[in-house]
């Protein structure tokens, strides 16, 4: 039986960890980055092979990131410990991408412009994600507030307006996705929006719009005169 190729068969300067230290993370392939995260393989199987199997099984990095701990654990060499490591890394990346620095102010009065701004963040999620765009005279910032089914207990005005107050926002736009593909607001959407608008009035922060997005379309509360 032939010996499995391992990281240690490579010259030291060609090993992923050493290459990352020397050239930076951008120089590594996805497979090499996975090798660094996983650290080592299992008896009889190199981490090189395990990383290859992960990419082969799920087909893309996006699908790998969406895989559950149970699905990851079905791969030989990926037990619960390594599965949780992978999920933690992907979640940190997702949260980093969702917490944006302030952008130079732009006209977001047109719901279509808001849709174009956020659809890349929200269109492929399988759960509902609620975002808040805080607007002031100089810039805007986009903050993820909650993940899960949209209802009044999950989307609380305290969390929604926390970032708005921090950014001295004069107004806000709410955005969330509908994984079902239907942009029409649910009864919960209507109730939550009304509650948030009322909270904004108390705080002196105008709720300009609430936009529901899907992969191909959007629904604007402002356009339908619901806000």
User: Domain segments of the chain: what residues?
Assistant: 7-98, 103-220
The strand order across the sheet containing 139-147 reads: 103-104, 139-147, 129-135, 171-177, 206-213, 218-220
Distance set, CA 11 to CA 6, 42, 63 (Å): 11, 21, 32
The rounded mean pLDDT for the chain is 83
At a CB cut-off of 8 Å and minimum separation 6, what does 59 contact? none
- Please spell the DSSP secondary structure of 7-41, one letter per residue: GGGS-GGGSHHHHHHHH-GGGS-HHHHHHHHH---
Determine the pLDDT at residue 97.
62
- pLDDT per position as a tens digit, 27-38: 888 888 999 999
Q: Is the pLDDT assigned to residue 20 strictly greater than 50?
A: yes
What would the CATH number be for the domain defined by 103-220?
3.40.140.10
Q: Mean of the pLDDT values across residues 118-133?
A: 80
- pLDDT per position as a tens digit, 151-197: 544 688 888 888 788 878 889 999 999 988 899 999 999 999 999 99
Domain 7-98, CATH homologous superfamily name and number: 5' to 3' exonuclease, C-terminal subdomain (1.10.150.20)
CA angle 5, 10, 11 (to 5 degrees): 165
Domains 7-98 and 103-220 share a fold: no
1 pLDDT band, cuts 50/70/90, is very low
């Amino acid at each position: 039986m032939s010996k499995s190729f391992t990281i240690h068969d490579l010259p030291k300067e060609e090993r992923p960890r050493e290459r990352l230290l020397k050239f930076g993370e951008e120089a590594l392939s996805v497979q090499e980055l996975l090798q660094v995260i996983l650290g080592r393989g299992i008896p009889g199987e190199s981490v090189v092979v395990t990383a290859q199997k992960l990419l082969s099984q799920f087909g893309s990095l996006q699908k790998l990131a969406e895989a559950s701990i149970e699905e990851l654990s079905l791969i030989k060499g990926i037990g619960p410990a390594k599965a949780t490591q992978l999920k933690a890394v992907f979640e940190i990346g997702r949260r980093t991408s969702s917490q944006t620095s302030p952008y130079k102010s732009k006209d977001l009065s047109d719901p279509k412009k808001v849709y174009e701004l956020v659809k890349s963040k929200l269109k492929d999620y399988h759960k509902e994600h609620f975002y808040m765009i805080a607007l002031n005279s100089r810039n805007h910032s986009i903050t993820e507030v909650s993940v899960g089914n949209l209802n009044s207990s999950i989307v609380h005005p305290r969390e929604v307006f926390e970032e708005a107050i921090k950014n001295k926002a004069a107004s806000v736009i709410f955005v969330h996705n509908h994984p079902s593909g239907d942009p029409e607001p649910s009864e919960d959407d209507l109730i939550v929006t009304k509650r948030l608008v009322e909270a904004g009035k108390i705080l002196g922060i105008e709720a300009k719009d609430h936009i529901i997005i899907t992969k191909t379309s959007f629904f604007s509360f402002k356009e339908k005169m619901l806000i």
